[in-house]
Amino acid sequence: MKRVLLIALIASVGFTQACQGNASASEENKKELSEAKTEKVKTEKATITLNKEEFKKKVLNYEVNKTWKYEGDLPSIVDFYADWCGPCKIAAPILEEIAQEYKGKIHVYKVDTQKDPELAQMFGVQGIPAFLYIPMEGQPTMNSGIGRTKEETKAMFRKAIEDILLKE
């Protein structure tokens, strides 16, 4: 009988320690999940790809409005691009950085000209990448091309944002 009690006692102590080990492992798992969520927020794209329907809601409802009427809540850049376009691939990560930098001040939208060519045609886009700068008041401004370097391209975007989109 004593032997059975001793085995039961040893088993219960071992079980208790195993559960405590799982609790600390559980805390470690929670911490890892929290860190992963934080990293996901950091790496979440700040640029927003629009299709034709979303474009009508967030930029211009061209089926209803015959003149320019911006539908957005913040000034915006619309990047007209295509996946096969080399300069577009160079501009994409730079625009992502710009979107992160100016988050809450402007929107950076992307329109795939292969999927929605009518949107590009509506704005007279003949070469890509092309960028439509949309201030809250007034008419939008179109610009195309990128700089020779990443720094030059980033400076080009910042200047347009400050001069066109965020000017007082």
Domain residue spans of the chain: 1-44, 48-165
| Residue 156 exposed, middle or buried by CB count within 10 Å (0-12, 13-18, 19+) | middle
* 17 has pLDDT over 80: no
Mean pLDDT value across the chain? 83
Taking CA atoms, 61 is separated from 65, 90, 113, 119, 142, in Å, by 6, 30, 18, 11, 18
Highest mean pLDDT out of 1-5, 10-14, 141-145:
141-145
Band (pLDDT 50/70/90 cuts) for residue 4 is: very low
CATH code for the structural domain at 48-165? 3.40.30.10
Q: Is the pLDDT of residue 162 over 70?
A: yes
pLDDT at 45: 87
Respond yes or no: is residue 88 known to be catalytic: yes
Answer yes or no: is pLDDT of 7 > 80: no
Q: Return the bridge partners of 106, or none.
A: 103
- Residue 143's nearest CA partner among 167, 123, 117 is 123
pLDDT tens for 62-81 read 999 989 999 999 999 999 99
Burial 117-136 (b: 16+ CB within 10 A, else e): eebbeeeebeebbbbbbbbe
46 versus 2: the higher-pLDDT residue is 46
C-alpha separations of 123 from 31, 43, 97, 105 in Å: 49, 31, 25, 24
Which one, of 62, 38, 58, lies nearest residue 50 by Cα?
A: 58
Amino acid at 115: K
**pLDDT for 21:** 43
- pLDDT value for 29: 53
Residue 52 reports pLDDT greater than 80: yes
Catalytic-labelled residue, pool 88, 91, 95, 146:
88
Q: What is the rounded CA–CA span in Å between residue 85 and residue 53?
A: 24
- One-letter amino acid at 144 equals S
Mark whether 19 is an active-site residue: no
> At 167, is the pLDDT very low, low, confident or very high (cuts 50, 70, 90)?
confident
* Residue carrying the six token digits 């809250």: 136
CA distance 31 to 33: 5
pLDDT greater than 60 at residue 13 = no
**Secondary structure of residue 135 in the 3-state scheme:** coil
